[in-house]
Structure 1
Amino acid sequence: MLRNNLKLILRQFWQNKTFSLINILGLTLGTACCLYILFFAMEQYQYDKHHADLDALYRVVTDTKLQENPRREMSTLSPPIAPALGEEFAEVENWTRVIGTPDVSQQILKWKNTSFYETKGYYVDPAFFQVFTYKWVEGDPAHALDEPYTVVLTRKVAEKLFGRQSALGESIEIADNEFRVTGVVDAQANPSHIRGHYYMAINSGGIGEYVINNNNWSGNNFIHGYIKLKPQASAEVVAARLPAFLEQHGGDQLRNMGMEKSLHLEAVRDIHLFSERSNQVETTVSSSLLYILLTIAGFIQFLACINFMNLTTARSTLRAKEVGIRKTVGAGRGSLISQFLTEAVLLSAIAFLLAIPLIKLALPWLNLMTGSDVTGSFSQYPQIWLLIGALVLLTGLLAGSYPAFYLSGFKAVNAFKAGSGRSRFSVANLRKGLVVLQFAVSVGLVIGAILIHQQLQFIQNRDLGFQKEQQIIVPVRTDAARSRLATFKQEVKQLPAVRTVSGMLATPGQFVTRDFSVYTEGQTMESAQNTKVIYTDEDYLDALNIPLLAGRALLPGDTTNQIVLNEYAVAALGLSVSDAPGTEVYSDFDDEQITYHIVGVMQDFNFQSLRSDMYPLMLSYWPPNQHFNTLISTQTEDYAGLLATIETTWNQLNPDTPFEYSFLDEDLQKQYQAETNLSYIISLFTFLAILISCMGLFGLATFSMERRVKEIGIRKVLGATTGSLVGRLSKEFLALVLLALVLASPVAWYFMRQWLTEFAYHIQIQWWVFVLVGGFAVAIAFLTVSFQAVRAALANPVEALKSE
């Protein structure tokens, strides 16, 4: 029976090549999208799933609130919290911390004559590799980082340094310090939310020693802390004890700062997909983005199924006689349903077989579009075959269910009568409803794509309050380079193409790790205003072209106690811009009151991402040998020549330190890479959705013209013009597209309005967007339908009527 069904199906495909091609092509495109997003989703869900005792692993995170400022939900904590948890909580089996501040995570690695910049370097506690599971190539995870100045490299970094020889026991230089390699791990074997390239022992001087000796329970929330619970220990019990634990150790400090603070546990298994806290150790993937992608993929697959249902039911009258004959010779309804469902499942299977090589060919381009690294490996994820099998059946059953039950329900006698394909419930109405649904989805995607693009353009073109163009950033990674930075600045300043040069700890857009609270005369830390701090030099405001509103800028003779505030900080402290210079503000630390002298007030500028509101900010002077970045403000179009000259100057002063640079405007744009990728993805899928919808519309229009060929012939004989015929034949379809626009617009407006609220600064949704999309949808539909309408209208009426 199956063999007979297959023969009938293949015969149907061959006899209706146009409709079969439209169905297969639509299903193939939809299936390719589904497969790519399934691979993407599966790879994202694999993050951190390889760790031993995964259900016992938690990150300790922090919520803070200062006065009237919004609550901050951070993925970090203060330095002493994780060790104290390990010491005082019997439920905690082990703990570790990860330090990855911008000045730590990018360093020069050297071995003999090999040196290069490497990113994602972290200081970690000795128990790091006992808490987290990595695939080891060399070394002992239990004791790899017990000793000071030891480091564990990833296989990729080890091969860059040593080639294929063993790295174990070798000494390398990191940030002017000698480290001994005690292990090599294969970081690519299992994905983790901590994607370091090298891990240094925390007791290796510098900021690691600072963290070890730090007893600040309120501020310095830049550490990522993790705990591993003992078997049968309850995370809920531990979480319930955290408020009393924090009060015992840090209550006085928090009250002195006027800060509210709470600690929470976050399951490691949920971090990559579900954590939306700030200061992540690595970039995470938004679960909402993943759901959006899966939803869009489902919509596209559904659109392809609608095409199949529409075209099959449209051709129902042509297959009525087939059904009648088969019923006359004894075929039951069950066998007919089986045939039609088998036909749909076979079509779906063909589409999947065509989609697999299509995905393989398009994978590099799709990864470039989405900013992902999807491997598309069927061997790595064998369970994908089960999903493919389920999707083939689901797609086939969804696409073929209505046609199967509809066609098999024809009565044998009525099947041979004229108009036998009609029923009381008009199939035409169903087809119209499906066309409306198709275009509603497509219109919604177009609206979303346009609004996302507008928001990205708004971000890129918004005046941030400083000059971001023609700014070159030169990172300063080593102590040796920092010791010569003053000389480098003076030599570069003399170049005609350079306007000025400034050194700083953090450039605009980088995460500002330093902050503390200040208060005015007569107040206390309980009413203090938390303020971000950028340590820089006297040229900062000039280099970024930030207006000074009152007082003066920083001077080389200043100390960290002379500060320049932004307008927001001045207002938050209850001061006026004109009176602020000369005023003193205070901060308490370790029972000592520190006095700061306001010397100037600068105009507000967006030093953070536009997802965040304006925030109090101060500039404080640091000498050049403590800066980690140099900003070169230029006035030239010959960047190639200027960069070559700057590199020559750098190499003369720092022969052992590679020259590195970036452009500030490009660095700022990287903050919105997730939104940019989303825009590309939505645009791509929108195009595919419109293409599939138009293919279905083209098929229906073709069928409609074939069914109305005699009507068209009669109208032409009676004097109808080609234009009037095209208008009449197209009107029905265009009305459906307009209805789709009316239905899709409010839904698209609601969801895009929700998405825009994630930005502190965003566009307003304009009415003309919906008019533009409506006009576009109507134009596309008209072009699709009118091709067949014109063809039918130009046909010779004699050919249509000669059999009458």
Structure 2
Amino acid sequence: MIKNYIKTAFRGLMKNKGFTFINVFGLALGLATCLLIVFYVFDELSFDRFNTKADRIYRVNNEIKFGGTENSYAVCPAPAAAALKADFAEIEQVVRFRDRGGNQVKKGNKNIVEDRMVYADNSIFSVFTLPMISGSTQNALTEPHTVVITERMAKKYFDRTNVVGQTLTFNDTSLYKVTAVIKDLPKQSHFNFDFFISMPTIDESKEDVWFSNNFNTYILFKEGVDIKKFATKLPAFMHKHAGPQMQSIIHLTFDKFEQSGNYFRFALIPLKDIHLRSGSIAELSANGDIKTVYIFSAVAIFILLIACVNFMNLSTARSSNRAREVGVRKVLGSPRKYLIAQFLTESILVTLFATLIALLAAWLFLPQFNKMSGKELVITGQILSWLLPTLLLIIIIIGCLAGSYPALYLSAFQPIEVLKGKIAAGFKGGIFRNFLVVFQFAISIFLIIGTLVIYNQLKYIQSKDLGYNRDHVMIVRNVWSLGNSAKSFKHEVQGLAGVQNASLSGALPTGGYGNSSTMFKDPVIDQKRALLAQIWPVDEDYLPTLGIKLVAGRNFSKDVLTDTAALVINEAAAKMLNFSNPIDQPLYAPNDNLVKTLKKYRIIGVMKNFNFRSLKDNITPLIFTMNEDRGAVSVRIRSTNIPAIIQQIKNKYNSFSPTQEFNYSFMDEDFDAIYRAEQRIGTISIAFTSLAIVIACLGLFGLAAYAAEQRTKEIGIRKVLGANISTIVGMLSKDFILLVLLAIVLATPLAWWAMHSWLQGFAYRQSIQWWVLVLAGGGAILIAFVTISFQSVKAAIMNPVKSLRSE
């Protein structure tokens, strides 16, 4: 029986090759899109889950409100980890990371810049799952100047992995002994380092300072610990350990400090939530966003629903052609359940073909999707182990769901009415089909509006006046490797014919340096007269090189010796300080982390606010000091021959240090990298929206064919009575356009609300323009009309003689 069902279904499908192709193609397109999104979502949700103890690992965040600003930091004080383990029996182990940037590693006669370096406690191997290839985890990072490297780095520097006991030279001066080699970290990790340097190497790790936050701290809890209950103990812990230093620094108890509206507190975030739900300052890498996962998941479901709706529409569109078949089958004694089984078999067969094509298409388009999403997705055996059973289930579910309406609809025809030709109720009789068309186009319009808003916001970001000029600014990195020659290198570069100006500083608005500190308006430490701000050491050429404008006072000058104790502040800092005239006003900064003494500074200038962080954040207080920082040299180029000037700068760099690697980028590229996630969302949204429209149009094409088919005789009679082609096309199109208008009315407010919520994530954003809604609606109507017109014109130009003889 089943064999007969399959054979009959196959014959029926091949009899109508055009509709079968559209059916399979539409469903395959929807399934392929859904599969790609599933791969993306699965990858995003799998971050850090390779750790066998992931459910018990939490990071300690530090939330601070002081000096008029509040922030959440992914880092803690150095002594916090040891104190937490000592005070709480619930904690099994703790580990700290200290990210101080990269170093240059010698390979032969060359120095290679390696940025993926971090200092770590030896307990890292007890907390995280880092499989060993060679060496032992017991004491791998307990001694100073020891390092654990990944398999990739072992092969890069030694051409083998058995390198325990070998040494690596950092920055031409420091020797580090390799004590172990671990497997490369999975891509789905919120930190991806290749060098883990022993924490005892740096004295900073031994400091007992509770108000200097530089260490990413992780807790491994014992099994069965109630985390919410544990979190209630953290305020008392902070009072006990940080309280004495707070008392000595600002002469306030913790209670008084908090009563004034400030806070200094710890918060816990699960390891599994860090990648998608954390956006704190000093994250170890760029994180994802759970909103993106939700959006893409919803899009996948919507597109799959559109594809299923198409199947229903296209199947019922051929109902009149199958009506006589159903009537004859019933007259010959075929029960309704056999007819339902027959139609469901056809549906499952179409779904099977579509799924196979979708799987092949997803595999073929995966490399292109990786480029758009910035992922490195591959279809592995692990993925296939759950994907194939899932696809089998999808074939059955979608086949039955998508085929249920056509099966029940077609099998319900009464033989007498069918054979008398009374089943053609016309387009207006298909209320459920009309609902499906509205549903399809509502989703399509929703996606069109969303895509236009995202595109608009990205364009706004690219064109917004940030308060500095990032065009034609070349950033030469790792200038610290030049040592005392860094300043000479800057002056040599300034002398080049194609260079307008150059500045020596690691502090850049596109990322690099980010040190927060507190300044006071008086020589006496008073929290009510404190300012928490970013403090950037720069030189006298920084402002002119980056095109930052002054609104009051003057810039630093190398000819004024007292400028080493001078400050240039931004408008946000000036507003918070509330000086009537900030020029020449004093500010006092701590000389050390314990704030035992203060150093006096004098404000000499106020610069215009500029966005030195993401446009998702408001501009906060920023203060420049005139101090040497050899992090990078920013070079403003005026030459039109960019490659030639780059080569000249490289030659200058190599003349100072022939063995060092020349590393550079352009500031506008670095700026774009900050918003790469949003740009990828925009690109993927355009692709998904286009696919949704194509799939929706396939369904509309089928319904247009159905409507034209049902009204063949009516069209013939109208033509005989003198109706022209435009009248007939308008008649056939009117009902569909009304449905699209209804979809616009339903989708527009929902899309506005959703995109308004998305835009709230940006401190600087454009409002949703009225023309976006009009363009989306007009575009949907135009697309629908073009799709419908193909069938309408075809029906309108048909010879009326053939139309009236169609029976």
TM-score bracket, shorter-length normalisation: over 0.9
Residue type of the partner of 1:34? Answer: C
Question: Equivalents in 2 of 1:12, 1:316: separation in Å?
Answer: 13
Name the CA shift for 1:622/1:320 in 2 (closer, same or farther; >3 Å): same
The answer to whether the 8 A contact 1:36-1:376 is kept is no
Residue 168 of structure 1 and its aligned partner are, at CA, apart by 2.3
Deviations 1:88-134 (A, max 9, x none): 2222221111122xxx3333221323542222211111211221111
Question: Equivalents in 1 of 2:524, 2:161: separation in Å?
Answer: 63
Question: Equivalents in 2 of 1:475, 1:198: separation in Å?
Answer: 20
The answer to whether the 8 A contact 1:585-1:598 is kept is no
Residue 320 of structure 1 and its aligned partner are, at CA, apart by 2.5
Compare 193-202 and 318-327 and name the one that shifted more.
Answer: 318-327
Name the CA shift for 1:328/1:759 in 2 (closer, same or farther; >3 Å): same
1:561 paired with 2:565, answer yes
Residue 582 of structure 1 and its aligned partner are, at CA, apart by 4.2
1:355 paired with 2:348, answer no
| Residue of structure 2 in register with 1:166 after alignment | 162
TM-score between the two structures when normalised by the length of structure 2: 0.94
The answer to whether the 8 A contact 1:114-1:161 is kept is no
Name the CA shift for 1:78/1:796 in 2 (closer, same or farther; >3 Å): same
Deviations 1:628-678 (A, max 9, x none): 111001112211000000001100101111111100011011111111111
Question: Equivalents in 2 of 1:56, 1:798: separation in Å?
Answer: 78
| Residue of structure 2 in register with 1:203 after alignment | 200
The answer to whether the 8 A contact 1:82-1:225 is kept is yes
Compare 404-413 and 440-449 and name the one that shifted more.
Answer: 404-413
Compare 81-90 and 614-623 and name the one that shifted more.
Answer: 81-90
Residue type of the partner of 1:614? Answer: I
| Residue of structure 1 in register with 2:620 after alignment | 615
Name the CA shift for 1:169/1:381 in 2 (closer, same or farther; >3 Å): farther
Residue 68 of structure 1 and its aligned partner are, at CA, apart by 4.2
Deviations 1:335-391 (A, max 9, x none): 322222222222111111011121121111111011111112244551122221222
| Residue of structure 2 in register with 1:518 after alignment | 519
Deviations 1:287-318 (A, max 9, x none): 22111111101111110100111122232233
TM-score between the two structures when normalised by the length of structure 1: 0.94
The answer to whether the 8 A contact 2:147-2:179 is kept is yes
Residue 523 of structure 1 and its aligned partner are, at CA, apart by 6.8
The answer to whether the 8 A contact 1:520-1:586 is kept is no
| Residue of structure 1 in register with 2:91 after alignment | 92
| Residue of structure 2 in register with 1:217 after alignment | 210
Name the CA shift for 1:305/1:725 in 2 (closer, same or farther; >3 Å): same
Equivalent of residue 790 in structure 1, options 783, 793, 801: 793
The answer to whether the 8 A contact 2:317-2:705 is kept is no
Q: Secondary structure at the match of 1:227?
A: strand
| Residue of structure 2 in register with 1:488 after alignment | 489
| Residue of structure 1 in register with 2:552 after alignment | 550
Residue type of the partner of 1:325? Answer: V
Q: Secondary structure at the match of 2:77?
A: coil
| Residue of structure 1 in register with 2:313 after alignment | 310
The answer to whether the 8 A contact 1:566-1:603 is kept is yes
Compare 672-681 and 118-127 and name the one that shifted more.
Answer: 118-127
Question: Equivalents in 2 of 1:803, 1:24: separation in Å?
Answer: 28
| Residue of structure 2 in register with 1:322 after alignment | 325
Residue 477 of structure 1 and its aligned partner are, at CA, apart by 5.4
Question: Equivalents in 2 of 1:408, 1:277: separation in Å?
Answer: 60
Q: Secondary structure at the match of 1:123?
A: strand
| Residue of structure 1 in register with 2:687 after alignment | 684
Residue type of the partner of 2:625? Answer: S
| Residue of structure 2 in register with 1:117 after alignment | 113
| Residue of structure 2 in register with 1:267 after alignment | 270
Question: Equivalents in 1 of 2:750, 2:151: separation in Å?
Answer: 49
Residue type of the partner of 1:10? Answer: F
Residue 698 of structure 1 and its aligned partner are, at CA, apart by 1.3
Q: Secondary structure at the match of 1:463?
A: coil
| Residue of structure 1 in register with 2:672 after alignment | 669
1:242 paired with 2:234, answer yes
Q: Superposition pairs for residues 116-515 of structure 1, below 5 Å? A: 116-164=112-160, 166-176=162-172, 177-189=174-186, 191-204=188-201, 208-210=202-204, 212-218=205-211, 220-254=212-246, 256=249, 259-420=262-423, 422=425, 428-476=430-478, 478-479=480-481, 481-510=482-511, 512-515=513-516
1:736 paired with 2:739, answer yes
The answer to whether the 8 A contact 1:538-1:621 is kept is yes
Name the CA shift for 1:17/1:107 in 2 (closer, same or farther; >3 Å): same
Please, which runs of 5 or more residues in structure 2 have no aligned partner?
Answer: 251-256
Name the CA shift for 1:477/1:118 in 2 (closer, same or farther; >3 Å): farther
The answer to whether the 8 A contact 1:98-1:122 is kept is yes
Residue type of the partner of 1:93? Answer: E
Name the CA shift for 1:544/1:328 in 2 (closer, same or farther; >3 Å): same
Name the CA shift for 1:142/1:363 in 2 (closer, same or farther; >3 Å): same
Question: Equivalents in 2 of 1:14, 1:800: separation in Å?
Answer: 25
1:801 paired with 2:800, answer no
Question: Equivalents in 2 of 1:254, 1:307: separation in Å?
Answer: 67
1:78 paired with 2:77, answer yes
Name the CA shift for 1:333/1:803 in 2 (closer, same or farther; >3 Å): closer
Name the CA shift for 1:469/1:348 in 2 (closer, same or farther; >3 Å): same
Residue 153 of structure 1 and its aligned partner are, at CA, apart by 1.5
Q: Superposition pairs for residues 629-644 of structure 1, below 5 Å? A: 629-644=632-647
Name the CA shift for 1:659/1:215 in 2 (closer, same or farther; >3 Å): same
Aligned length: 790
The answer to whether the 8 A contact 2:320-2:710 is kept is no
Q: Secondary structure at the match of 1:790?
A: helix
Residue 554 of structure 1 and its aligned partner are, at CA, apart by 2.2
Question: Equivalents in 2 of 1:474, 1:734: separation in Å?
Answer: 58
Name the CA shift for 1:381/1:131 in 2 (closer, same or farther; >3 Å): farther
Equivalent of residue 766 in structure 2, options 763, 768, 774: 763
The answer to whether the 8 A contact 2:728-2:796 is kept is yes
Q: Secondary structure at the match of 2:191?
A: coil
The answer to whether the 8 A contact 1:91-1:234 is kept is no
Question: Equivalents in 1 of 2:187, 2:466: separation in Å?
Answer: 40
Name the CA shift for 1:417/1:261 in 2 (closer, same or farther; >3 Å): farther
Residue type of the partner of 1:261? Answer: F
Deviations 1:675-712 (A, max 9, x none): 11110111000000000011111122123223322222
Name the CA shift for 1:216/1:561 in 2 (closer, same or farther; >3 Å): farther
Question: Equivalents in 2 of 1:217, 1:731: separation in Å?
Answer: 72
Please, which runs of 5 or more residues in structure 1 have no aligned partner?
Answer: none
Q: Secondary structure at the match of 1:600?
A: strand
Question: Equivalents in 1 of 2:806, 2:523: separation in Å?
Answer: 103
Q: Secondary structure at the match of 1:570?
A: helix
Name the CA shift for 1:662/1:558 in 2 (closer, same or farther; >3 Å): farther
Q: Secondary structure at the match of 1:657?
A: coil
| Residue of structure 1 in register with 2:533 after alignment | 531
